[in-house]
Amino acid sequence: MTLAELSERAAIDEEFFGRLIADPVGTALNAGCEVSLVQVKAVLGLAGVSDEEFGPALVEKLQR
């Protein structure tokens, strides 16, 4: 699974989106996407946020 596919799934699957918010790296790995949180943050334009701030920052970004 690519990051684009991961993002597409999160956009249409509310339960998956919730898991992704709670555990981004673990959920991505379990979905077959081999990425690090650093890569995920960079792709999403959130490279400056801490690991603890990532979930809420992602929710805010996706709600825009």
Number of domains in the chain: 1
Q: How many CB atoms lie within 10 A of CB 39?
A: 15
Output the pTM of the full model. 0.58
**Phi, psi for 8 (deg, rounded to 5):** -60, -40
Please report the pLDDT score of residue 17 as a whole number.
92
Please report the pLDDT score of residue 38 as a whole number.
86
Please report the pLDDT score of residue 14 as a whole number.
94
Q: Domain span at residue 14?
A: 3-63
For the chain, 64 residues long, the average pLDDT of each consecutive 10-residue run is 87 93 88 84 89 89 82
Sign of CA dihedral 5, 7, 9, 15: positive
